[in-house]
Structure 1
Amino acid sequence: MKIDHPAATDRRVDERAAVDPATFAAEVASRSTPIILRGQVAHWLSVAAAAGGDESIARYLATLGDGGRPLEILIADPEQRGRFFYRGEALEGFNFHRQHAPLGALLGELLKLATLSAGECHTLYANAATAPEHLPGWSAANSLDLPLGDATPRLWIGNATQTATHFDESSNLACVVAGQRRFTVFPPDQVGNLYIGPLDRTMAGPPASMVDPLAPDLDRYPRYADALDHALVADLGPGDALFMPAIWWHHVQSFGTLNVLCNYWWTVDAGASPFHALVHALMAVRDRPAAERAGWRAWFDHYIFDDEAGAAAAHLPPAAQGVLGPASADRTERIRNYLLTTLARR
């Protein structure tokens, strides 16, 4: 589809028509690169309601939110141009504030803001609102028959926004209900070219790139030019879905005065977080002398990155492999207990 805004690159994400559950499992969920599924959720009642305009989708959503908990809403002043980000050169805070409000209040305010010019319009964004808690009627009326495990549908409702380039640790299926969305995506190996912000003080969970893709400062962030050489763009309209594998970086633009997206995060193993392991390695490994770091790199390569088949423990009897054994619930519990006991002694 065509969005009337310049894109960062002409390179596009692959796309195909909607798929059935078996095809999704065999040909989509195992992909290592994103793909657009055109019309995947075109049958949803919410998409039909969105075709009637802002007031139509607002009325429809209001019927699904009766009895739901208030939503957390991000609010930014008009001068931020819809970009949720840090505030100031010292990153001393954020350029938005948070407020909780019922779904009906959010929808009413979005309809009011739709009558204002862009320069007068605050940006409102309810992000990752879990459907069971906030829109109790959503799942029954807008079901998805794809094999996504026990993934929870989450709603993203707002006006024209841009979400800073970030990653998710889980695979993601993002389904557009109302408005248009543009995802600019980067492979995981571009982390060094994206100039990532603080790891432990973030806007909404994962760390984000410091570069504004709509106005990149290449004097300050020169390696971002290399990241753009690997970027892909996905333009989505109502009914379309985007599959993104875990750890792909993505910047998201939302267009329109009332836009809605429903996404699903799911993972094969929802246990320990690789990101948390990375942060622990900052303390335990990064500041060691160079020779020691090189030695520990060999350990990581041997036990983690070069050991997909478990060969590093093959010389040990199964009962003696301990934390090196095959993945299982028992091994996970053993590792967790080992770490908790070890860290408690520090």
Structure 2
Amino acid sequence: MDCPVPERRTVEYRDPDAKVFGEIRAAARPVILKGLLADWPAVRAGSESPMALGAHLAGFATGKPVRFIVAPPERGGMFFYGDDLTGTNFEAREAPLTELLHGLLHWMDRADPPAMAAQSLPEPVAVPGFAAANPAPAIVGSAVPRLWIGNAAVVQTHHDMFENLACAVAGRRRFTLFPPSATKDLYVGPFERTLAGPLVSMVPLHAADAERWPRFADAWAEAEVADLEPGDALYIPYMWWHHVQSFDPFALLVNYWWNPEGQRRQPMQALIHAMAEIRDMPSDQRDAWRAMFDAFVFDDAAEPGAHLPQTVRGIQGRMDPQTSAAVLASLAQGMQRQR
């Protein structure tokens, strides 16, 4: 599947120290960390052969079934919705990891294989011991590694509500990235029926019809591309949209998701609640609530309650995780009473 490539390329770094990576995170832009994982045994095994990498992974497999998805060859390697958007163009299966690895190796030399992918397998469950043999970069802290194993396939543009370090272990991958500001121009699919949890764009990069998706041109103007070779990693900031294309018949990516320690918030629920309560109000009332959100949620210039004594600021002041949890619990109780 041929997809266009943005002109802008993601900036590359080599061996950034903690101070430099702090600056990278503060800038909230993607960066490629070249060769970050070059010393991993898994990367070395993958550079030797797919069979060697398969054996490396199989050595940690528990024998428990793992979930993976399969799309028929006529789908061109793209995992997406079915034609009427009520289902998907792929099916989910389960098998021990060793069987999945055997299947991928079996299809490697076939001209028209099905697209296969095990997505987001948590290391402690699927391959305990992999992380000890292939230690996490220091920048991800205590984040749990997750494995993405498959062949040449396309994962449609989506975003995650985490910071993300995506590590290419075997196989070449291309990430096409869009900032959160492009959301309105990406034609987001159904909230209620996603492909795997995160929201996805409905615009296929290989067929971005300008008549059907006219605003996508504005999103494309903000896009950038990150090409990863085995051993490279990509830092994806919070909520950045990314389209992922794998080019090789046997590929492994390990990623780490994290958010600030102790953060357990559910901003998507707040968005959905606002959509239900505010979006269909008359325009003058929506403007009034836009001003309220700007003043109490999105104003970075000042703390809204700074004019009040600390003892009575309440939710206008900065909230620690415990206070935030108490406020959310109170809201949940109030919504329950309204039913």
Shorter-chain TM range is: over 0.9
Which of 250, 275, 284 in structure 2 is aligned with 1:282?
275
Tell me which amino acid in the other structure corresponds to 1:122. P
Report the equivalent of 2:16: 19
> C-alpha deviations, 1:55-80, integer Å up to 9, x for none?
11111110122x26321101111111
Q: Please, what is the CA RMSD of the aligned residues?
A: 1.6
Q: Does 1:167 align with 2:159?
A: yes
C-alpha separation in 2, matches of 1:217 and 1:156:
30
> C-alpha deviations, 1:13-51, integer Å up to 9, x for none?
11111334x245433333311000100011100000001
C-alpha displacement of 1:308: 5.8
Which of 35, 48, 54 in structure 2 is aligned with 1:58?
54
Instruction: Trace 1:4-153 onto structure 2 (pairs within 5 A).
Output: 7-20=4-17, 22-23=18-19, 25-65=21-61, 67=62, 69-88=64-83, 90-118=84-112, 121-153=113-145
Tell me which amino acid in the other structure corresponds to 2:284. A
Tell me which amino acid in the other structure corresponds to 2:13. R
Tell me which amino acid in the other structure corresponds to 2:75. Q
Which of 154, 158, 162 in structure 1 is aligned with 2:146?
154
C-alpha displacement of 1:317: 2.5
Aligned residues of 2:4 and 2:205 also touching (Cα < 8 A): no
C-alpha displacement of 1:307: 4.6
C-alpha displacement of 1:299: 0.6
Q: In percent, how many aligned pairs have the same letter?
A: 42
Q: Does 1:342 align with 2:324?
A: no
Query: Secondary structure of the residue that 1:262 maps to in structure 2?
Result: strand
Aligned residues of 1:153 and 1:262 also touching (Cα < 8 A): yes
Instruction: Trace 1:190-339 onto structure 2 (pairs within 5 A).
Output: 190-268=182-260, 270-307=263-300, 309-310=302-303, 312-339=304-331
Gaps of 5+ in 2: none
> C-alpha deviations, 1:307-341, integer Å up to 9, x for none?
5642x112222222222221213311221122112
> C-alpha deviations, 1:189-237, integer Å up to 9, x for none?
0111111101121011111000111221111101111211111000001
C-alpha separation in 1, matches of 2:77 and 2:292:
45
Gaps of 5+ in 1: none
C-alpha displacement of 1:81: 1.0
C-alpha displacement of 1:5: 6.3
Q: Which stretch shows the higher mean deviation, 165-174 or 214-223?
A: 214-223
Aligned residues of 1:165 and 1:251 also touching (Cα < 8 A): yes
Aligned residues of 1:323 and 1:334 also touching (Cα < 8 A): no
Aligned residues of 1:177 and 1:239 also touching (Cα < 8 A): yes
Is the alpha carbon distance of 1:292 and 1:283 closer, same or farther for their aligned partners in structure 2, counting shifts above 3 Å?
same
Aligned residues of 2:77 and 2:115 also touching (Cα < 8 A): yes
> C-alpha deviations, 1:89-112, integer Å up to 9, x for none?
x31211011112111000000011
Tell me which amino acid in the other structure corresponds to 2:224. L
> C-alpha deviations, 1:246-298, integer Å up to 9, x for none?
01111000111110000001111532122221111111111111111111111
TM-score by structure 2 length?
Answer: 0.95
Aligned residues of 1:19 and 1:40 also touching (Cα < 8 A): no
Aligned residues of 2:171 and 2:246 also touching (Cα < 8 A): yes
